[in-house]
Structure 1
Amino acid sequence: MFQSHIDNSILSKEYINHPVFEEIKYMMDFYESVSYTCYFFFPSGTSYIRNYVSDIYIALEGTLESIQTLLKIGRINDVLVLVRKLFDDVLTEIYIDVIRKENPDWEKSLIVKDVDTWLKGKYRVPSIKKILAKLKNSETTQKLYPFFGWETYLKANRELLDDSVHSNRYQLFLLNCNSLHLENRIRFLQNVLIFLKQIMMIHLAFIFYLNPHYLMASDYVDYMDIGLTPPKGSESWIAPYAQKAFDKYIKPYPNLATFIKQECYLQIV
């Protein structure tokens, strides 16, 4: 029978109180906030009259909610599959944003064909390998790309997630058996936490770098909406939730934090 709460009779106290649950809640709240903020910014290059990115962020929040639900009933291998999906979805969103910004035919057309047809369900994005190659070589992202260790620990972590997708090991089947007492259950739960933090760090860095206006405080727009002159410099104020996310996910990496502060016009503390 499906249960939406954590089953205390099956899972240990250490599992139930693991920080991954609070982490997921925080990430969900972040995507809800940035989805609301970016909704008011119309993206160029598409025939849509609303910001499709807002919908993507809500979808990412939904995937996190699914991860949370599965964790609460101890289906860790299914969780790892969804974490891989989340990673792929984040990279897809970044890729679509990059090719939208790099449209070489602005004088001929205001629509980026691949982006617009993708939104209409008629274009399939390339493989993750090709997406990463694009991010590595693109003038838009090549300065940010080297900060994340794509060919080292991130590659190793993606291979671990791929193992779950393809059930490459017997123990991965066992991770979905929530009635078994597994010595490595907490270790895999900790891996989920590590993977989620890495994904969030990557996505947040790209948002700051490519779309800092999604993370600006609402003061400037609020003043404009009521016909008042915004406070001087308010267009560069950072939203409190964005500053908190920066402190949580980017500040622990000094080189990345310094780069983002240098490249982003927001007043990041």
Structure 2
Amino acid sequence: MKALPRTGGIAKYVDAAPELSAVRPCLGALDYAGVRERCNDQTHHNFLDHLLLNDGKVYLKNRAEWIAQLGSDTLDIVILHLAYSFCLSGHHMMSSDYMDALEVGMTPEHGSEDWVAPYVQAFLAERVVPRCPGLIEALRKETGMELEG
């Protein structure tokens, strides 16, 4: 069985992917090295505080800050995966209108194959725009999908 490549090798492979070149500059502002380090520390309980965070009976003065940071890190990971998914498999983000019309034997509305699902649009507007302002425009140019914002 072959082992997975190290993180640096994976990063080089992803950085070289031409399909992702349009979104890479937008994602560069996010601290993914810090996210990786913090998530690794939390997963493996590398510090006593990380272990104690999981015990609600133990009082930790900065528990709320740790939880907020974990939420922020999780959001950064979701944004990264969402951006990559749009570029590599945008059809996963599309609205169901196009396929719904085909399934009932109707002709889909012109351009509906490029519509984005409402819940994806809402997530982009509420979570992605404040964190990565230029990402929506980069995705729109790269994918041709009808993104609001």
Superposition TM-score, scaled by structure 1 size? 0.50
CA distance in 2, matches of 1:207, 1:126: 21
CA contact (8 A) 1:219 1:230 kept: yes
1:190 alignment partner in structure 2: 68
CA distance in 2, matches of 1:153, 1:230: 42
1:262 alignment partner in structure 2: 141
Aligned pairs for 1:79-228 within 5 A: 124-149=3-28, 153-228=31-106
CA distance in 2, matches of 1:173, 1:235: 47
Q: Residues 30-77 of structure 1: CA distance to partner in whole angstroms, max 9, x if unpaired? A: xxxxxxxxxxxxxxxxxxxxxxxxxxxxxxxxxxxxxxxxxxxxxxxx
1:106 alignment partner in structure 2: none
Superposition TM-score, scaled by structure 2 size? 0.85
CA contact (8 A) 2:22 2:138 kept: no
Provide the aligned length of Structure 1 versus Structure 2. 147
The answer for unaligned runs of 5 or more in structure 2 is none
Change in 2 beyond 3 A, CA 1:224/1:177 = closer
Task: Give the share of equivalent positions with the same residue, in percent.
Answer: 29
Change in 2 beyond 3 A, CA 1:238/1:206 = same
CA distance in 2, matches of 1:165, 1:219: 40
The answer for unaligned runs of 5 or more in structure 1 is 1-121
Q: Which has the higher contact order (CA 8 A, sep 6+)?
A: 2
CA contact (8 A) 1:212 1:265 kept: no
CA distance in 2, matches of 1:205, 1:157: 17
User: SS state of the match for residue 135, structure 1?
Assistant: helix
Q: How many Å apart are 1:198 and its aligned residue?
A: 0.7
Change in 2 beyond 3 A, CA 1:177/1:225 = closer
